Amino acid sequence: MLVAAAVCPCPPLLVPEVAAGAAPELDALRAACLDAIGRLTAARPDRLVVLGPSDEAGRGPYPQGAPGSFRGFGVDLEVRLGAAETAAERELPPSLAVGAWLLSRTERAGAPVEALGVAESLPRDRALSAGREIAASAPRVALLVMGDGSACRTVKAPGYFDERAEAFDAAAARALGTADTEALAALDEEPAAALQASGRACWQVLAGAAENAGLSGRLLCEEAPYGVGYFVASWS
């Protein structure tokens, strides 16, 4: 059963070494992520699963101790998923590496942790089903859900400006901040893809996991500093 969730964005710029001189611009977002994860681990789950958008080749699952790095972003920095090392050397995709980095900055109870990449194109029904399976996998399950909103909020955004982006992000923020599983499930796949909203499928896995769990939500942060929607939420 799902007992807690934290929703965080996944730009590698959250890692100060990657952001370099721009690191202070995301201080508030970074602090909110650590707050959300602190609330998550306080629920003392039996199983902690990190979800993050990936391509089909990076879906995993990835065991505790799986490695990740930020060398692809010009920084010689490595992370591990949880404290233990593992013989498996398959590298975490960027979104999960950011999740592993955030977890390494928080005190974590002894629950085993693993990670799963979620294809951004995963259809709604399959995402909801996957969430239900995860929630049923242990008596107390917690999810760290990585993913960004639209990337089309301004003309300088990665996806350029799209007038639909602000409304899409507002709906997503409202659903994440109120733990509204029906509203998350209703997010349309086609506009989400057009707006480059990488978190859509992960949020719908969360929606499936949280069905009938009776969780309440709180939006801790909402920003779009680079024309990309970033949301931090805590469900408990």
- Residue 19 corresponds to which amino acid? A
pTM: 0.96
CATH number at residue 11: 3.40.830.10
Q: Rounded to 5 degrees, what are φ and ψ at 37?
A: -70, -35
Cβ count within 10 A of residue 206: 33
Strands 2-8 and 141-146: parallel
At residue 141, the pLDDT reads 97
Q: Domain total for the chain?
A: 1
Report how far Cα 115 is from the mean position of its chain's Cα atoms: 11
At residue 60, the pLDDT reads 80
> Which tokens go with 167?
């409304």
> Which tokens go with 151?
């990337």
Q: Summarize pLDDT for 96-150 with one digit per residue, the tens.
A: 999 999 999 987 657 899 999 999 999 999 999 999 999 999 999 999 999 999 9
Please say if the pLDDT value at position 85 is more than 80: no
Q: Summarize pLDDT for 172-210 with one digit per residue, the tens.
A: 999 999 999 999 999 999 999 999 999 999 999 999 999
The whole domain housing 217 covers: 2-235
